[in-house]
């Protein structure tokens, strides 16, 4: 067999992620590899920590980038904090809430499932009822921005509710970090994970996570050993500790971390508020254009994520045909529906670097063309 | 705070990994990101599978690159195959055999530990005795190339022994793949994992793994659910299946996989046998030069890994001072000792792209200079 180098075309990525990334971040990936224990690399990791603290709006000492994708970040939060027999209230309003349940049950813990409709925010009342009915629950877990449906949930209120009932919170911020308001310390989030390839506009493969002091205490006071060696954050803590004496745990994905560092430098330079505003502005422009095309959103206006626009596929339109047409004619990728919404919805991402006027204009024009084929 | 882009210097990486990578692999990382479900990307993943089958010398259908470092590859092998209560014979002759034991016990399985001295191959007789004493053992696990000590074990004989006693084998090939002879099908290895950053000369962050049909059957016939969702290979199998209808599991680390693809294309072009020969030739040149400097190997000649040369730090020489001198004056990284060998040994890697005459010459001259300071 004959194998050649792979030369991908330049796509415009407006799906649910990976999202478009800036030329600077892309270029940073090809910088020379250095050792993961090299003093210069350790210094860079310290900056990644500080920049992630800024992105998460937290002073949490334990704020790092896990060397694996967001789904490993989710698992890291659950397996470190939750022990067999613990009761966890899990809010499910899409694919990723469902995945949380699978994480809880594989630990041997009990998931109290609070279902809200797909395409809607988590229903606060139902969570409160579950908390009252389960005074022995230890955690409340929910997805801040459901990537499968494009709905945002009221993380601030959910956290306040959990605190009132003496529960720690585990929050999925895969799609929310850097795209909408997210205040880890102010809202009192205890364990949070995200992904590098969404609104941070870095390549996929890393998962920023942060644990509050309360969460760290829970880990330290565990009765049982963490079931995963790779995700055992009590071992990872010393690998990421900034005191210069780093103990080996695993080999960090050096070049991907160059990309994350660069993307966080860009976030810091733009400013979190400006970036959030930019997402909102581009979302409004997209929504206006979609309305003109007669396309309807799945999520009611007040619960919509600006960075992930889930829309109904118009009647009589062939899902796959349109997506292929966009990809082949315009190098434009939009996302398919996931789970219950497969075949019924498209997901248009406006994440990070992709949240730009030129992308919105192209997407609307290309979509209009495709629908008229 | 003011954050700047990170611009690492060009180091020569002759430690235990990450190893030097070629300019072509480095450049491939900055190719445009495309979606992980893009048909072009799916096609590239199929090629990665085929190229990994070549590297592992296997026809195993289940041969993929795990989206996380080698230590996650280790855990994937154990958590998928081993269930609570199972008996696993684990050979320990360095740090990574010890890590295997931690993986086994965290599953709730029983590790029968066979200890061999650090810096030596796994002792076959002892393994046989353990197999006779434990007829109910289901697995034999060992490290083919111990990165912590530089010793190679006789994988072929160990596998034959395991088969004789009706055990499946779990093999750590993190440092061996692409560096020394390794024949998964011929030797009958059932589960094997490696790392991208060693003799494949790709960036760190990916773990090539392969399961035999027997291993896949064991996974299918499990009585209990796999404790890790992220590492559950029954879910990942369909993500990597080549039938064009790929079901979403997680977002693959797109650009790192560009790098792995390119590094495997280079391996295929050079040819496995030529690459193995190159490692041997450069190792011999290095060993000759080290002998002239009066430096002694930790491992006896017949058990030495060509790609990882563990040597005793000469009496009276300051470990850290020498390594800093090499790094600061020559941009040359060699590895420190690990575990029991910390402070007593250096590890000089000649892995993949680093196994070159110019590196050997530089390393010897720089080391001579450093020792005379």
pLDDT tens per residue across span A76-101:
999 999 999 999 999 999 999 999 99
Task: Say what the pLDDT of residue B242 is.
Answer: 55
B316 to chain A, any CB pair closer than 8 A? The answer is no
CA nearest neighbour of A334 among A63, A83, A19, A5 = A19
Q: What is the pLDDT of residue A67?
A: 96
Instruction: Using an 8 Å CB-CB cutoff, list chain A residues near B261.
Output: 5-6
Rounded to whole angstroms, how far apart are CA atoms A80 and B321? Answer: 38
Query: Is B271 at the interface with chain A, CB within 8 A?
Result: no
Which residues on A lie below 8 Å from B262 (Cβ)?
5-6
Which residues, 6 or more positions from B223, have their beta carbon under 8 angstroms from its beta carbon? Answer: B83
Give the CA dihedral A145, A60, A250, B349, nearest 10 degrees: 120
Cα→Cα distances A46→A62, A70, A196, Å: 11, 21, 17
- Give A354 to chain B, closest Cα distance, Å: 12
**Minimal Cα distance from B248: which residue of A?**
A338
Q: Parallel, antiparallel, or unpaired: how do β-strands A12-14 and A332-336 relate? A: parallel
Burial zone of B128 (CB within 10 Å; 0-12 exposed, 13-18 middle, 19+ buried): middle
**Is A90 an 8 Å CB contact of chain B?**
no
Those of residues 16-35 in B touching chain A at CB distance below 8 A are 17-18, 20-21, 24, 26-35
Q: CB pairs below 8 Å between A and B: how many?
A: 250
Q: Does A285 touch chain B (CB under 8 A)?
A: no
Query: Can you state the percent helix, strand and coil of chain A, rounding each to 5?
Result: 45, 15, 40
| 3-state SS string for B3-51 | CCCCCCCCCEEECCCCCCCCHHHHHHCCCCCCCCCCHHHHHHHHHHHHH
Bridge partners of A305?
A308
Cβ-Cβ contacts under 8 Å, B37 against chain A: 336
DSSP secondary structure string, A265-299? HHHHHH-HHHHHHHHHHHHHHHHHHHHHTT--BSS
Give the span between the Cα atoms of A92 and A143, in whole angstroms: 8
Report the gap between the CA of B90 and the closest CA in chain A (Å). Answer: 16
User: How do beta strands B191-193 and A110-115 pair?
Assistant: unpaired
Burial grade of A180 (CB within 10 A; 0-12, 13-18, 19 or more): buried
Partner residue opposite A7 with nearest CB, options B31, B99, B252: B31
- Residue with token string 């393994």: B127
Chain A CB contacts of B249 under 8 Å are 71
Please tell me the predicted confidence (pLDDT) of residue A243.
56
A147 vs B contacts (CB less than 8 Å): none
A347 is in an annotated binding site: yes
Q: Do A251 and B47 touch (CB under 8 A)?
A: no
Residue in A with minimal Cα distance to B41: A8
Spatial distance between the Cα atoms of A45 and A26, rounded to a whole number of angstroms: 19
Helix (H, G, I), strand (E, B) or coil at A182: coil
For chain A, say whether B172 makes contact (Cβ under 8 Å): no
Start-to-end CA span in chain A (Å)? 39
Residue with tokens 């990486």: B13
Q: Give the three-state DSSP class for A30.
A: coil
Closest Cα in chain B to A269: B3
What pairing do the DSSP bridges indicate for beta strands A87-92 and A110-115?
A: parallel
Which H/E stretch holds residue A184?
Answer: helix A184-187
Contact A253/B256, CB-based, under 8 Å? yes
Which residue, among B100, B74, B57, B77, has the nearest Cα to B233 in the 3D structure?
Answer: B77
Q: In this complex, is the C-beta atom of A254 within 8 Å of any C-beta atom belonging to chain B?
A: yes
Structure tokens at B189: 């290895």
10 Å CB burial of residue A300 (0-12, 13-18, 19+) is exposed
Give the pairing of strands A62-66 and A207-211. antiparallel
Beta bridge partners, A140, equal: A89, A169
CB contact under 8 A, B30 and A32: no
The shortest CB-CB distance from B35 to any of A4, A13, A268 is to: A13
Whether residue B3 contacts residue A263, with contact meaning beta carbons closer than 8 Å, is answered with no
Among A4, A8, A37, most B C-beta atoms within 10 A, so best to mutate, is: A8
Using a CB-CB distance cutoff of 8 angstroms, which residues of chain B are in contact with residue A68?
A: 67-69, 72, 230
Contact list in A for residue B193 (CB cut-off 8 A) is none
- Is the CB of residue A207 less than 8 Å away from at least one CB of chain B? no
Q: Report pLDDT digits (tens) over A232-251.
A: 998 888 777 655 566 778 99
Phi, psi of A348 (to 5 degrees): -105, 115
- Is residue A137 within 8 Å of A165, Cβ to Cβ? yes
Furthest C-alpha separation in chain A: 64
β-bridge partners, B191: B170, B211
The answer to whether A229 faces chain B, any CB pair under 8 Å, is yes
Q: Report the alpha-carbon distance of residue B179 to residue B308 in Å, rounded.
A: 10
Helices and strands of chain A, counted as H and E runs:
13, 13
Phi, psi of B219 (to 5 degrees): -65, -45
Nearest C-alpha in B relative to A36: B18
Interchain contact, A248 vs B338, CB within 8 Å: yes
Q: Could you list the pLDDT tens digit for every one of the 373 residues in chain B?
A: 789 999 999 999 999 999 999 999 999 999 999 999 999 999 999 999 999 999 999 999 999 999 999 999 999 999 999 999 999 999 999 999 999 999 999 999 999 999 999 999 999 999 999 999 999 999 999 999 999 999 999 999 999 999 999 999 999 999 999 999 999 999 999 999 999 999 999 999 999 999 999 999 999 999 999 999 999 998 888 777 655 566 778 999 999 999 999 999 999 999 999 999 999 999 999 999 999 999 999 999 999 999 999 999 999 999 999 999 999 999 999 999 998 899 999 999 999 999 999 999 999 999 999 999 9
Instruction: Mutate one of B52, B75, B196, B204 to test the A interface: name it (highest A CB count within 10 A).
Output: B204
d(CA B7, CA B26): 15
Cα of B70 vs its chain's centroid, Å: 7
Q: Is A342 on the interface with B (CB under 8 A)?
A: no
The whole-number pLDDT of residue A39 equals: 93
Chain A's closest residue to B336, CA to CA, is: A37
Contacts of A3 in chain B (CB under 8 A): 47, 50-51, 264-265, 268-269
With an 8 Å Cβ cutoff, are A29 and B30 in contact? yes
Enumerate the known binding-site residues of B for substrate: 347
Ordered structural domains, chain A, with CATH: 12-18+272-371 (3.90.1150.10), 23-268 (3.40.640.10)
CB-based contact A40:A244 (threshold 8 Å): no
- Listed residue (A232, A216, A180, A218) closest to A57, CA to CA: A180
Give the Cβ contact number of residue A61 at 10 Å: 17
Task: Say if CB A253 and CB B72 are below 8 A apart.
Answer: no
Contacts of A47 in chain B (CB under 8 A): 3, 6
Q: Is A328 on the interface with B (CB under 8 A)?
A: no
Say whether A227 and B229 touch across the interface (CB within 8 A): no
B137 min Cα distance to partner chain A (Å): 22
Sign of the torsion formed by the C-alpha atoms of B368, B353, B146 and B124: negative
* Residue stretches of chain A with pLDDT short of 50: none
Residue by residue, DSSP assigns B103-135 as HHHHHT-EEEEEE--TTS---HHHHHHHHHH-T
CB contact under 8 A, A250 and B69: yes
ipTM rounded to 2 decimals = 0.96
Q: Do A204 and B38 touch (CB under 8 A)?
A: no
Q: Are B207 and B65 in contact (CB under 8 A)?
A: yes
Cβ pair B8:A41 closer than 8 A: yes
Identify which of B277, B254, B358 has the alpha carbon closest to the alpha carbon of residue B20. Answer: B358
Chain A residues in contact with B23 by the CB 8 A cut-off are none
B-chain residues near A254 (CB < 8 A): 18, 203-205
Map B180-200 to HEC letters.
CCCCHHHHCCCEEECCCCCCC
Find out whether A151 and A99 touch, Cβ atoms under 8 Å: no
Interface of B with A in 113-142 (CB under 8 A): none
CB contact under 8 A, A195 and B258: no
Give one word for B105, left, alpha or beta, with left for phi > 0 and alpha for psi -120 to 50. Answer: alpha
pLDDT at A244: 54
How far CA A306 is from CA of A147, A310, A354, in Å, comes to: 11, 10, 12
Cβ-Cβ contacts under 8 Å for B318 (sequence gap 6 or more): none
């Amino acid at each position: 067999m004959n194998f050649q180098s792979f030369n991908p075309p330049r796509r415009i990525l407006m799906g649910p992620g990976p999202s478009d990334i800036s030329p600077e971040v892309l270029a940073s990936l090809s910088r020379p590899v250095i050792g993961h224990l090299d003093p210069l690399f350790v210094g860079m990791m310290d900056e990644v920590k500080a920049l992630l603290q800024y992105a998460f709006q937290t002073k949490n000492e334990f704020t790092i980038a896990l060397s694996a994708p967001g789904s490993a970040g989710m698992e890291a939060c659950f397996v470190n904090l939750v022990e067999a027999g613990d009761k966890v209230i899990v809010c499910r309003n899409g694919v990723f809430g469902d995945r949380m349940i699978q994480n809880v049950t594989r630990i041997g813990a009990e998931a109290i499932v609070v279902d809200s409709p797909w395409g809607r925010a988590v229903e606060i009342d139902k969570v409160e009822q579950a908390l009252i009915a389960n005074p022995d629950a230890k955690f409340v877990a929910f997805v801040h921005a459901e990537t499968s449906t494009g709905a945002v949930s009221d993380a601030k209120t959910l956290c306040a509710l959990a605190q009132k009932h003496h529960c720690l919170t585990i929050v999925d911020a895969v799609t929310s970090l850097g795209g909408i308001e997210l205040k880890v310390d102010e809202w009192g989030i205890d364990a949070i994970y995200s992904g590098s390839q969404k609104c941070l506009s870095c390549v996929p493969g890393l998962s920023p996570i942060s644990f509050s002091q309360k969460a760290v205490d829970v880990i330290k006071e565990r009765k049982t050993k963490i079931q995963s060696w790779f995700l055992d954050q009590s071992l990872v803590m010393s690998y990421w500790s900034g005191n210069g004496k780093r103990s080996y745990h695993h080999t960090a994905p050096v070049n991907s971390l160059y990309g994350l560092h660069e993307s966080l430098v860009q976030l810091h330079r733009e400013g979190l508020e400006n970036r959030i505003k930019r997402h909102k502005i581009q979302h409004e422009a997209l929504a206006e254009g979609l309305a003109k095309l007669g396309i309807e959103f799945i999520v009611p206006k007040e619960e919509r994520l600006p960075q992930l626009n889930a829309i109904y596929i118009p009647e009589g339109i062939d899902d796959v045909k349109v997506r292929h047409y966009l990809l082949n004619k315009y190098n434009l990728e939009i996302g398919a529906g996931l789970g219950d919404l497969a075949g019924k919805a498209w997901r248009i991402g406006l994440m990070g670097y992709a949240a730009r006027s030129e992308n919105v204009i192209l997407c609307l024009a290309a979509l209009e063309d495709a629908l008229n084929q």
